[in-house]
């Protein structure tokens, strides 16, 4: 059984112009579309994320997966 579904992308740029979301190589490269299905009818309780939440907040106190994430994940 899968308990967590996560994706992360961190973009660091030294450019001196804005980066916009879009479909070309000149645009933001972090654009996730994640789809899932369930077989038991139980959808995820927290089925969306965004904003300034850290991976620790998204895991809701669960610690077993933290070994896979650096301390500064989603904070750059």
**pLDDT digit string (tens) for 32-53?**
777 777 777 777 676 665 566 6
Q: Could you give the number of structural domains in the chain?
A: 1
30, part of any domain: yes
Q: 66: domain range?
A: 1-71
Instruction: Examine residue 67 and state whether it is found in any structural domain, yes or no.
Output: yes
**Cα 42 to Cα 15: distance, rounded to the nearest angstrom:** 44
Under-50 pLDDT residues of the chain:
76
Question: Does residue 59 fall inside a structural domain?
Answer: yes
Neighbours of 32 (CB within 10 A): 8
52: tokens are 């300034």
The pLDDT score that the predictor gives to residue 76 is: 43
> Would you state the torsion angle of the CA atoms of residues 49, 58, 32, 30, taken in this order, to the nearest 10 degrees?
110
Residue 76 lies in a domain: no
């Amino acid at each position: 059984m899968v308990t967590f579904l996560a994706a992360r992308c961190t973009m660091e740029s030294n450019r001196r112009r804005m980066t916009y979301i879009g479909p070309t190589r000149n645009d933001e490269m972090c654009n996730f579309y994640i789809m899932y299905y369930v077989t038991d009818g139980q959808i995820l309780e927290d089925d969306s994320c965004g904003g300034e939440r850290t991976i620790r907040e998204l895991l809701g106190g669960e610690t077993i997966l933290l070994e896979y994430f650096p301390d500064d994940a989603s904070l750059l």
